[in-house]
Chain A
């Protein structure tokens, strides 16, 4: 998509830019008055006129605070209209069916049901739900940030530390084959691998869910677990494994996939918040939307890349 030559989008951006400048200048004004209040108070105390100092400081503080309070609503509206109008029209230009619901996301229950990650989140946030349909395959994706906490003992008591379980985009699509079991493909890690090896070779009992596939590159990149060995291979055909590897090569970090309830879930770890309006930078920068457009196109192309529109296996 050529953002610079998209007339309607340029008009929207120009209108939003005016809002943005107003917000930034009001915010600046608000902060200046608050700083002024602090200076007046300190100066008052310094010269030994305490009561007067508080009164002198109070007036600019209240004024500055009210400016910031008033503009907070405008800021929310601005962020919201960027998502709906700007990102919305970028989505439409990629495909008519795509739409964004900024306040919605993937629920934490659904996140856990995907089984993409073993750790249960203590803090969970998801926003910017985008859904659409590529030919026969419907799909949706959203930004997700899931964390777990640890308690650390220090001299002053306990301190809570937060660690990422996952930060990035979760993509969910209707899969083109019917299946009943659950199959999970996670990046290979040494620890998990050792566990699997022990449970299989040393303790021959227990439920062995490890699926060893024929594609050696696939096995080097991922560890596959499945509740049904045959069904895992029914989903992960040699061609599908190659397509997943290709998708993984095009992603910055190693992806995780799961196939549950006739749907496929893919987790793309990312270190950037997408679809957000800049506040302190201009909207008129021609490079502004490049990364968002690339992310949207990438998600939309997954259906084609994984060949999910080939529906010859009894599922429409």
Chain B
């Protein structure tokens, strides 16, 4: 009788630990995702300043600037979903990258202290977003492992825990830089 009670108590305790650890991991995933969001917002906030600074010096980049401003407005509107936001960010990123390359033709702008600051903050935010995405992927992998491996796989479905996909690296980031492409631009 006592042995049976002990066994039940152990199983019960194990259940509590297991359930709590799953919740902990799930919250970590949510937390990691919000970290990406914070970083993205920080980056979007740089756009108006960047556009203003570039506008003063360049005449021929108007279409790019308009596109960047539009993307920023879209990204910060409340109706946009997380997936869309990530997509807009990728587009925004490549547009700004293109802009930075073209800016090589404007020595005055390149020497502008405000612009130099913006440029470093931009590269900084790029690296921070990459770090946040990697943190998210690590949290997701950890969570997925817990619910897909034994014994988690026995209860996870029952308790309504489902695997979450990891963030794929943007196609552009994965591509190796080819000199040929650079010179064709």
A177 to B120 Cα, complex, angstroms = 11
Task: Indicate with 1 or 0, residue by residue over B16-45, a CB within 8 angstroms of chain A CB atoms.
Answer: 010011011000000010010001000000
**B-chain residues with CB within 8 Å of residue A314 when the two chains form the complex:** 117, 120-121, 124
Residues on B with C-beta less than 8 A from A200 are 21
B85 within 8 A of A: no
Scan A147-184; emit 1 where CB is below 8 A from any B CB, else 0. 00000000000000000000000000000010000000
Query: Which of A201, A214, A229, A313 is B124 in contact with, Cβ under 8 Å?
Result: A313
Q: Identify the closest chain B residue to A235 (Cβ).
A: B131
Known: A204-B17, A205-B20, A214-B138. A233 touches B131 (CB 8 A): yes
> Does chain A have a CB within 8 A of B89?
no
What does DSSP make chain A's interface, helix, strand, loop or mixed?
A: loop
Chain B residues, CB < 8 A from A51: none
A204 lies within 8 A of B124 (CB): no
A237 touches B138 (CB 8 A): no
What are the interface flags for A218-260 relative to B under an 8 Å C-beta threshold, 1 for contact and 0 otherwise? 0000000000011111100100000000000000000000000
Return chain A residues, CB-CB under 8 Å to B21.
Answer: 200-201, 204
Residues of A within 8 A of B135 (CB): 229-230, 233
- Is B132 part of the contact surface with A, judged by Cβ < 8 Å? yes
Q: Does B69 contact A (CB under 8 A)?
A: no
Q: Determine if A231 and B127 form an interchain contact, defined as CB atoms under 8 angstroms apart.
A: no
Q: Let me know if B123 and A312 touch, CB within 8 A.
A: yes
- Report whether A312 and B138 are in contact in the complex, using a CB–CB cutoff of 8 Å: no
CA distance A201 to B21 in the complex (A): 7
A interface, how many residues as a size bin?
20 to 34
> Does A194 sit within 8 A of B, measured CB to CB?
no
Which of chain B's residues have a CB closer than 8 A to the CB of A204?
A: 17, 20-21, 23-24
Instruction: Tell me, yes or no, whether B128 is within 8 Å of chain A by CB.
Output: yes
Verify if A7 is at the interface (C-beta below 8 Å from B): no
A202 at the interface (CB under 8 A from B): yes
State whether the Cβ of B110 lies closer than 8 Å to any Cβ in chain A. no
Do the beta carbons of A233 and B123 come within 8 Å of each other? no
The reply to whether the CB of B80 lies closer than 8 angstroms to some CB of chain A is no
B14 to chain A, nearest CB (A): 10
Contact of B131 among A202, A205, A234, A312 (CB under 8 A): A234
A212 within 8 A of B: yes
Interface residues of B (CB under 8 A from A): 17, 20-21, 23-24, 32, 35, 39, 117, 119-121, 123-124, 127-128, 130-132, 134-135, 137-139, 142
Further 17 A-B residue pairs, CB within 8 A, beyond A229-B135, A233-B134, A314-B117: A177-B124, A202-B17, A204-B20, A205-B24, A214-B134, A230-B32, A230-B35, A233-B131, A234-B127, A234-B128, A234-B131, A237-B127, A237-B130, A312-B120, A313-B120, A313-B123, A313-B124
Interface residues of A (CB under 8 A from B): 177, 200-205, 212-214, 229-234, 237, 312-314
A-B contact pairs, 15 of them (CB 8 A): A177-B124, A204-B17, A213-B138, A214-B134, A229-B32, A230-B35, A230-B128, A230-B131, A230-B135, A233-B130, A233-B132, A233-B135, A237-B127, A312-B124, A313-B120
